[in-house]
Amino acid sequence: MNIEKINNAYIVDVRTPGEFSMGHVTGSINIPLNELPERIEELKSMNGKIILCCASGNRSGQAHRYLIQNGFNEVHNGGSWLDVEYEFINSTNNNN
């Protein structure tokens, strides 16, 4: 699995694989909300800031609370993947 660091952060999309396949932030990784417990070590191995996203911000909010409760400090709820994509595009274009 290729995990890409984007603007010094990992973007984790917690939607279902079907939703993810319909569109996602380029370079993001899909870890569905219901798979977080069994993939927590994978998230810990990222060693950096994690930005969570989903369709509306609800599931990413749940994922954020779960990860904070499990010792993550550098985790942020990005809300909708479209908002994260927009922020990524703007910050990338502003850095050129």
CA–CA–CA angle 44, 1, 12 (5° rounding)? 50
Instruction: Check 9, 11, 12, 54 and give the catalytic one.
Output: 54
Whether 43 and 63 have beta carbons less than 8 Å apart is answered as: no
**pLDDT at position 94, please?**
59
Better-predicted residue by pLDDT, 6 or 57: 57
User: Does 54 qualify as catalytic in the annotation?
Assistant: yes
Q: Where are the domains of the chain?
A: 5-94
pLDDT over threshold 50, residue 56: yes
- Mean per-residue pLDDT, 11-36: 96
CATH architecture, domain 5-94: 3-Layer(aba) Sandwich (3.40)
Whether 74 and 44 have beta carbons less than 8 Å apart is answered as: no
